[in-house]
Structure 1
Amino acid sequence: MPTRVEALGGRRRPMFAGRRVECAALDRLVGALRAGESRVLVVRGEPGAGKTALLEQVAERATGCRVVRVSGVQSEVELVFAGLHQLCAPLLGRAGRLPVPQREALRTAFGLSSGPAPDRFLIGLGVLGLLSDAAEERPLLCLVDDQQWLDRASKQVLAFVARRLGAESVGLVFGVRRPGDELAGLPELVVGGLPDADARALLAAVLPAPLDSRVRDQIVAETRGNPLALLEVPRGLTPVELAGGFGLPDLVLPSGGVEGSLRRRIADLPEDTRRLLVVAAADPTGDPALVWRAAARLGIAADAAGPAAEADLAEFGVRVRFRHPLVRSVAYRSASHSQRRDVHRALAAATDAAADPDRRAWHRAKAAAGPDEDVAGELERSADRARARGGAAAAAAFLGRAATLTVDPVRRAGRALAAAEAETQAGAFGVALDRLTLAESGPLDELQQARAELLRAQLAFVANRGRDAPPLLLTAARRLEPIDAGRSAATYLEALSAAMFSGRLAEPGGDSAAVAGAAGMASRPVQAPTVRDRLLAGLAGLFTDGYVASLPALRRALAAFGAGVPADEQLPCLWLANAVALQVWDDELWDTLSGRYVDLARQSGALRELPLALSMRAHFLLFAGELPAAASMVDEVAAAAEATGCRLAPYGAMSLAALRGCAAEAQVLIETAAADSQARGEGIGLSSAELATALLGNGLGRYPEAMAAAGQAAAHTHDLGTANWATVELVEAAERAGRRDVAVDAHRGLAGVTGATGTEWALGVAARAGALLAGADAERLHQESITRLGRTRMRTELARAHLLYGEWLRRERRRTDAREQLRTAHDMLEAMGMAAFAERAGRELAATGGTAPKRTAPRANGLTAQETQIARLARDGLSNPEIGSRLYLSSRTVQYHLHKVFTKLGISSRRQLGHVLP
């Protein structure tokens, strides 16, 4: 049984005993790092279980590795990125190697430069890149002790990094009492009590005299093998009690267990030493100069540190260190409220106001005995700095504390409202509601009341994806109208967006038509209209005045999205702009806007926008027949959703599987998406699932099934992006299913829309659908559809036009002409990967006496899904850093996977990828 003895304050004491299983797990982790792999481990256990000792142990055994550490401190939980900065500080000299957006995000987060608040996930990518770069020289081991006391922003970023590690030779070990949601699902090592034999050995090592076996067994049983308890509890027993005897049955361990023992030991210290421990416990930095400056203000003598070291509680050397985090906690809580306030007041006075204003403000807040407007104002300024660094959680904490220190009811309500807004940005929605309730209980002016209503609506949208949000957003927009026309217009557009997502599942008064009607009657800003204003006007007209009447306004709105419009104005509106481009059947503009949406989301680091941007781009690529490129986008959507926690329905994945004719895969995606959308109140997700079902059915020849699904989706005409295309599928499915009446009705509605817009794409699709129902005019319409669609980028639509024309020609017994069209359709569909439609063309071609080239099944290459994704992006010319940024991986992990790809494919360079991948 291994035992290690370590010196502290001139004394020797056992710090580590047993733990064979735990040590083996940690040794395996270090071995993996040395082999070039990355590992994450959550070491969990109750206070005193030995988590810190295990982290110390792995640091000692990690020879050849670089070790960086951070330890959470309870008093620092509200200082933005404090923990992350402590961990990364030794590595920041390497930040210059990071891509510019990531480097600037880190510099802003750590207060090293000013700039717009960075996206939390962009900071995460920066930290991932920093750790990966440092590990190129030698394996890097990151130890995060007392993770539960890290600030919220640091917790979130480190959890993001933990889930994206791959082949960087980076180890991330968390020591934590009870893991929070951010660590859920990561590998765990549970640290319980020591086995009996090891517990007895530890007791024997710490006690100077032999221990009565019955007393020993009782201590082991009642401490449950907790190492710190085993060391502390015997200190409260007299030599007689330790020796056993007739008094043993009445022996009772000291009340309060380990904490009680520590509290008594601290109480036995000289007064100055106790006060010094409180100062050290209240300061999270461990800076001895700061502690001694504060101690001097309290009149604490310089020799007060000696008894603390002799009692084996803390040392005051190059750094101030407590024997165990529990000692810090007990020392702080042992002091009275007034003593703690005195300590924080001294620390505030000893803290440099210029170098560390936020920590000084926090100490001043802790020192306040009651409301203090001066301190509240300082906290408010700290909140502004935290917000500028992307620390919404820290800003919320500062503002919340400022509100409690504010006497004036008007200021208190305003600060509580600002705190609620910051909590919402930080994702703490329950706390935000509490802050909002406090704000609403005080006097709010008109603008503040409108902000409160807007916030309550946004919280409802987050919780429910649209059932309740549109009416609440509408109320907020109306209230804002006479106060802030610009913000009112933005809120109307947000309400309309929420209503479009909720679709058929919207609450009464919150559907697209109701919201659009209210937006259309709202007053407009006096200044020149922005892209947002034009888009709102066009969409409001679409839902209230109809398609034909709104077309000019919709086209003006799209024309406003020019190159000269700032990115921060375009980005929030681009998903709606893409939906409008699709609605007006403008394939060139859709191509431009969908590409710009992805580019701006990536360049600005707006990773919350990225899943929707990628999904929109994937749909354009599907229409364009670029299924492999669309598949890359779909894979990126999955990676972005995993990294950001976004719960977007798998729109692109459903359509891709349907066009490929992968029935089993598509069915699973469709059923899952429909169930999730129903639960979230996302009606547009139901329509998308029905459209995918129709596409799949038409490809496989399951026409009744396709007709039923397309009919359901087409019935919801306000669902932009699905209703028109469901109608197209409905015409074909109904005609093939023998329901000509349904097909005629659907075509009548389609022709009204396509005739109004008049684009080649719209007219080509209308002609193709009309040819199915025409008599003598059918051939002209088939040829017209091919001609018009041939002028567009919509290759899937063109291939299907050739297929329908060939099928008509075969039925007209014009086999030679039919073979030409069907062979063209088959070749196009086969090349694009639309397997089900290609097989349908092949069957028709065989019926004409022709032969379709035998389909060559893709050669199994053994690549995993992630390797395939990386290989595609490398084939398309992206560098390792660019691939890493898209997939939320480090460059080193990308290189590792590419090496495996080359080996599996039998190639030696990126240039060869184009020859071996589809």
Structure 2
Amino acid sequence: MLGRGRERAVIDQTIAAVRTGESRVLLVHGAAGVGKSALLEYAERSAAGARVMRAVGVESEMELAFATLHQLCVPLLDRLNGLPVPQRAALETVFGMREGSPPERFLVALAVLSLLSDASEGQPLLCVVDDVQWMDRASAQVLGFVARRLLAESVALVFCARERPQDLLGLPELEITGLRDADAHALLDSVTHTRLDQRVRDRIVAETKGNPLALLELSRGLTVTQMAGGFGLLHGDTLPGRIEQSFLARIEALSEQTRLLLLIAAAEPVGDPDLVWRAAGRLGVTPATALAGGTDGLLSFDVRVTFRHPLVRSAVYRSAREADRRAVHLALAEVTDREIDPDRRAWHLASASAAPDESVAAELELSAHRAQARGGLAAAAAFLQRSVALTVDNARRAERAVAAADASLRAGDLAAARTFVDIADRYADSEFLRARGHLVRSHITFAAGFNNEAPPMLLTAAQRLEPSDMDLARETYLLAWGAAALVAADEESLMAISRAMRALPPPDGTPRPIDLVLAGYALLVTDGRAAAIPTLQRAMTGLADYPTQDLLKWGWVACGVSCAIWDDQVMLDTYVRAADVVRAAGALTELPIYLASLGIATSWTGDFAAAAAIVAEADAVAAATGIPIAQHTKLLLTAMQGREVEAAQLIAATIEWAGADGQLMGVTSANWAAAVLYNGLSRYEQAMTAAQASTRIAELWVSVWVLPEIVEAATRVGDEKAAREALEKLADAAEPCDTDWAQGILARCRALLSDGTAADSLYREAIERLGRTRLRPEHARAHLLYGEWLRRERQRVEARTHLRTAYTSFVSIGMEAFAERARRELLATGETVRKRTVEAPSSDELTPQEKQIALLVRNGLSNPEVGARLFLSPRTVEWHLRKIFAKLSISSRRELRDALPRGEYEPTP
């Protein structure tokens, strides 16, 4: 620890904070040999009273999913029963303790966060993860997630890596550099046994950049003359290479048996002494012969087999002959238990294979299935890729290549996915295999960005799959339709897909939900809503309890049925259930799609607090997954609230981002939000421009919802033609649906284009029908429009009644612009109206996250449930609650309902 005062101080502060109940995260990084491991050892020695847990990334285990995470969590597995059931199941599945569907890695991460939080209740935890550059990707993603969410737990998470790993970017870091010149000179003096020329000493220190391991190792193997004259020092290699060369010189000086023992230890990732010696025995290596002359301090045997430095391991392995490496891996495979550790055995067998070998390829394929079951998609892809290389039969190679491409795609490696699809195309000997390859290629295109290429590719894949796998073909048709509807730019593609769906043979027996959805969506495009509604209504009944697996595969497309049939209650119930199912399954990559739909449905009810909670959850998911999402809910919410500055900025940003990314539904949603905003602000020309921009895109949902905005804006600016054209389109969409939502909106829009008793009757019908829905904002807008019409008809007394109702509703909901529009109308009737605003409450002091936690707790969620929603540990939730209680001057959860202002947090009953 020579010259490491600053670094030790950082470690000391980290340990001290954890002892006081805070969390700390530290990424220690620096070049090989610079002293990172020594600092970790110092941290462990300094953590008296804390429980120390350690894990080490191993190069040969980089393809084994959750290997490093398992090392870290093994001491805590007796606490699994204390976790929420979905979290416990996720960890048990990825650790191979139970069978089940592969969990989302983010659910695994939340489980680890809860596990560490629970374990730190009794005593502080110091979790040390060394050699992060060799940690498997699944473990890195999970621990990166955990590190970003530790706050109020007594947990220190210290990582050590040569360079900043991608999954740990942004964490607090401590860069370890070489020693200062004086300290470097002192260290060099301590290991040299002859007086060095001052210029040689200076050069050694300068060229090693004060790297402690380089200073310690470079003198080994050099003669006194070479050291003194400087002739044997430092060639043009990189510093790690020079250090490795120093180790190589020491390795070459060992006996053949000792070198073989080192190679076995280098190839065995766990560091199990028994396993190493059993493999050594198969190669004729015994302790007596291998250790007779010692290992020159390069390898030690204790509870675990450890090398002097990770560079020793790599030097040993890379310098060995290929034949020796294969022999060592074969010996390790033979002594690795087939039942207990089949995946490492398969990997050893693969490394031992010099030529294609079907039996090994089959073992790797089985390992891939196990990795997939644990949620290790990257590991599954790696196993399958190696399996393809070792496959003898071309047809089997094509099958495995398709599987490897699919696994690579789901692991996010699009380049590898394309490579293996090409291999599948080259060797496929059946149309079914070629069709499956085409399907994967279509998904690659769709995953690469929303564009017009994916829908026709998916259509072709579905058509090619029909003869061999009709179920898969139907799923593919639905995904193709959904992709075309989402892209919303190619009407011909959507029509072609819909016609192909119409041509599908009728299903055997009773139609399943997917059959009805396919038929209904096809009719929607080819024959119009009137023809599609009966089938879609039947589909909606069947979708009420469809299986989770189906929901995860194609539910994002099917849930749109509720919007098509104009049933607000069904729509809300559908999206609540879908979000709950997807959330419980831990499918966080799919969750934002469902949250967007749920958020829009919730905003329409006027429960802006719940909608804001959904926005916060979606933002938390996006931050956790790193997947950007279109802000559909936030767009509509800020527009309905009338927050012009915030809404206008979000609208402009969304149009730019979604347009550039090909997500034209995002562009449509932004223009719809703008139409709502400007209608509320009484800026009808702007509202009409935005609304008409939404209808120019071939999109099936939002382009219908924006039609009432056009009718309202067009009548206000005197463009009766535009208003009637929009009304005609709205009638085509809504009239076939005998729901209060559809008929109420239609009556309200017809009233705008009517006069006299007809208008009066239509306004009353709209108010009555919309009053029976959950759509409080639309109901209030019907009162507003009727009140405005009555005032223009000089029926001021009755106008005031409806305008007051509208104003009160808008204020209670939080629709500021519409409330001001209603207030101005009331003033025009001669009534004195004091502008109502919510008094500035103490809750304004709450941060957005604190508001979110307060709302969820007020709604009855427990700390673990709140933590699961917001990706926090229960202890962090409790820490936030203490701050919330202090700011609101309350002392219990029960007092939250009264402490949170009604206008801001919940609608009036």
TM-score by length of 2: 0.96
**How far apart, CA to CA, are the structure 1 residues paired with 2:700 and 2:642?**
24
SS at match of 1:200: helix
Equivalent pair of 1:254/1:260 in contact (CA under 8 Å): no
Q: How far apart, in 2, do the equivalents of 1:249 and 1:89 lie? A: 50
From 752, 758, 761, the equivalent of 2:741 is: 761
User: Given the alignment of the two structures, is residue 879 of structure 1 paired with residue 862 of structure 2, yes or no?
Assistant: yes
AA in 2 matched with 1:487: L
Render the CA deviation track for 1:457-516: whole Å, top value 9, x for unaligned: 101111112332111111110100111110000000001111111002x4x853x22221
Choose which of 121, 127, 130 in structure 1 pairs with 2:112: 127
Kindly state the Cα deviation for residue 533 of structure 1 after the two structures are TM-superposed.
1.5
- Counterpart of 1:595 (choices 576, 579, 586) is 576
Note if contact 1:485-1:525 (Cα within 8 Å) is conserved in structure 2.
no
Other-structure match for 2:265: 280
Letter in structure 2 aligned against 1:407: V
Q: Distance in 2 between matches of 1:827 and 1:272?
A: 89
SS at match of 1:142: strand
- The partner residue of 1:737 within 717, 723, 736 is 717
Q: Which moved more, 1:519-528 or 1:463-472?
A: 519-528
**Offset at 1:198?**
1.9
Q: Does 1:83 align with 2:63?
A: no
Q: Which residue identity does 2:710 align to in structure 1?
A: L
Q: SS of the counterpart of 1:638?
A: helix
Are 2:160 and 1:175 aligned?
A: yes
The change in CA–CA distance for 1:824 and 1:252 in structure 2 (over 3 A counts) is: closer
Residues 220-267 of structure 1 show CA distances to partners (whole Å, capped at 9, x for unaligned) of 111112221111112243223333xxx458965596511111100110
SS of equivalent residue, structure 1 residue 113: coil
> Against the structure 1 CA distance between its residues 551 and 363, is the aligned structure 2 distance closer, same or farther, given a 3 Å change threshold?
same
- 2:890 is equivalent to residue 910 of structure 1: no
Q: How far, CA to CA, are the matches of 1:699 and 1:458 in structure 2?
A: 41
- The alpha carbon displacement at 1:51 in A equals 2.0
Could you report, residue by residue, the CA deviation over 1:272-316 in whole angstroms, capped at 9, with x for unpaired residues? 111111111111111101111111111112135647866221211
Aligned CA RMSD, in angstroms, stands at 1.9
Does structure 1 residue 347 correspond to structure 2 residue 332?
yes
Contact 2:58 2:269 in 1 (8 A): yes
**8 Å contact kept, 1:799–1:829:** yes
Map residues 504-543 of structure 1 onto 2, 5 A cutoff.
Answer: 504=489, 506=490, 509-510=492-493, 512-543=494-525
- What is the rounded CA distance, in whole Å, between the counterparts of 2:779 and 2:633 in structure 1? 20
Distance of aligned partners of 1:757 and 1:90 in 2 relative to their CA distance in 1, 3 Å threshold? same
Q: What's the counterpart of residue 867 of structure 1?
A: 850
Structure 1 position 752 matched with structure 2 position 752: no
- Confirm or deny that 1:204 pairs with 2:204: no
SS at match of 2:97: coil
Matches within 5 A, 1:768-847: 768-776=748-756, 777-847=758-828
Query: Is the contact between residue 159 and residue 182 of structure 1 (CA under 8 Å) also seen in structure 2?
Result: yes
Instruction: Determine if contact 2:337/2:345 at 8 Å carries over to the other structure.
Output: yes
Who is 1:407 aligned against? Answer: 392
C-alpha distance in 2 between matches for 1:332 and 1:250: 25
1:617 and 2:602 matched: no
Distance of 1:308 and 1:642 partners within structure 2: 55
8 A Cα contact 1:561 1:570, kept in partner: no
Partner AA of 2:415 in structure 1: G
Change (3 A) 1:248 1:102: closer
Task: Give the secondary structure class of the aligned counterpart of 2:148.
Answer: helix
2:662 aligned residue: 681
Task: Tell me the residue number matched to 2:276.
Answer: 291
Deviation at 1:22, TM superposition (A): 2.5
Shift of residue 517, structure 1, vs aligned partner: 1.9
1:710 paired residue number: 691
**1:804 & 1:490 partners in 2: Cα distance?**
45
Aligned length: 895
Q: In 2 relative to 1, CA 850–108 (structure 1 residues): closer, same or farther, beyond 3 Å?
A: same
> 2:49 matched to which residue of 1?
64
Tell me what 1:561 maps to.
543
SS of alignment partner, residue 735 of structure 2: helix
Mapped partners of 2:21, 2:430: distance in 1: 60
2:878 is aligned to 895
- 1:690 and 1:207 map into 2 onto residues whose CA distance is 75
Describe the shift of the 1:249–1:286 C-alpha distance in structure 2 as closer, same or farther (beyond 3 A): closer
Q: 1:551 aligns with which of 533, 536, 560?
A: 533
> Do the aligned partners of residues 233 and 728 (structure 1) sit closer, same or farther apart at CA in structure 2, a change above 3 Å counting?
same
Counterpart in 2 of 1:8? none
Deviation, structure 1 residue 29? 2.4
Q: How does 1:201-600 map to 2 (within 5 A)?
A: 201-243=186-228, 247-248=229-230, 253=235, 256-304=241-289, 306=291, 311-504=296-489, 506=490, 509-510=492-493, 512-563=494-545, 565-600=546-581
Of 719-728 and 874-883, more deviation after overlay is shown by 719-728
Q: What is the distance in 1 between the residues matched to 2:242 and 2:769?
A: 83
Q: 1:103 aligns with which of 50, 75, 88?
A: 88
Deviations 1:56-112 (A, max 9, x none): 222222222222111111111112211111111011111110011110111111111
Deviation per CA, 1:141-164: give whole Å up to 9, x if none.
Answer: 211111121222212222222222
Bigger mean CA offset, 66-75 vs 164-173: 164-173
Whether the 8 Å contact between 2:592 and 2:621 is mirrored in structure 1 is: yes
For structure 1, the 5+ residue unaligned runs are: 1-15
Deviation at 1:738, TM superposition (A): 2.7
Contact 2:127 2:157 in 1 (8 A): yes
* Cα distance between partner residues in 2 of 1:595 and 1:225: 60
Between the aligned residues of both structures, percent identity stands at 51
SS in 1 for 2:427: coil
8 A contact 1:351–1:360 mirrored in 2: yes
- Of 119-128 and 825-834, the range deviating more from structure 2: 119-128
- Secondary structure at the counterpart of residue 367 of structure 2: helix
Name the stretch that deviates more: 575-584 or 701-710. 575-584
What amino acid does structure 1 have at the position aligned with 2:448?
Answer: A
Cα distance, 1:339 vs structure 2: 0.7
Question: Using the alignment, how far apart are the partners of 1:673 and 1:36 within structure 2?
Answer: 41
1:604 aligned partner, one-letter code: A
Cα gap change, 1:800 to 1:225, in 2 (>3 Å):
same
Farther-moved stretch of structure 1 (474-483 vs 44-53)? 44-53
TM-score by length of 1: 0.95
1:722 aligned partner: 702
Structure 2: segments with no counterpart, 5+ residues: none
Q: Which residue of 2 aligns with 1:3?
A: none
Instruction: Pick which of 118-127 and 572-581 moved more.
Output: 572-581
